[in-house]
Amino acid sequence: MQSVFRNAMSRLGSPVVLVTTDGPAGRQGLTVSAITSVTDTPPTVLVCLNRSNQSHEAFLKNGQLGISILGKGHESLAFAFANSALGPADRFSHGSWQAGPLGSPLLDDALATLDCTIENTHGIGTHDVLICRVHSITVNDAAGHGLTWFDRSFHYLPPKCTPC
């Protein structure tokens, strides 16, 4: 059933984001596609993290995270942050980073960034579902195509055509 489930979920398009943290438990980051908005009042997102991921504890101990929404041209960055053989220093050597207001690293040329605190955590199976309050948002109006993950490969969403 697990392989059939994974195959079915590969047919569901997902955003590609980097989720990062920094604080007393150290600087960590990983590529995530299990993310969605929850509500806009107050701005809140849901992020799923596998408990077996080497960076999992740092996110919980730091209590905050940054979300960098990736676009076309960020594929190698997404692969670097998904590579469990790379440590944090190697991962963050890719791209240009700034600390958000709460201290989490945010990618300079992301389509958008969110700086969040982790408000609630719910364990389900192998993952923790993090409910995160958004405190700061940046949107890159000059950004191009969005990056999505569908059928186990990257695809691009065109930017809004103004005017068409």
Find the CATH number of the domain harbouring 95: 2.30.110.10
Residue 85 lies in a domain: yes
Residue 35 lies in a domain: yes
Please, which pLDDT band fits residue 34 given cuts at 50, 70 and 90?
very high
Residue 117 lies in a domain: yes
List the domain range (segments joined by +) for residue 25: 2-157
Name the domain count of the chain.
1
Nearest one of 62, 36, 58, 61 to 47, comparing CA atoms: 36
Q: Per-residue pLDDT averaged across 56-61, rounded? A: 97
CB distance 136 to 115 below 8 Å: yes
Q: Is the pLDDT of residue 144 over 90?
A: no
Residue 164 lies in a domain: no
Residue 101 lies in a domain: yes
Residue 105 lies in a domain: yes
Write down the pTM of the prediction.
Answer: 0.94
Residue 60 lies in a domain: yes
pLDDT in the model for residue 5: 87
Please tell me the number of Cα atoms within 13 Å of 139 on its side-chain side: 1
- In this structure, what token pair is assigned to residue 13? 């398009």
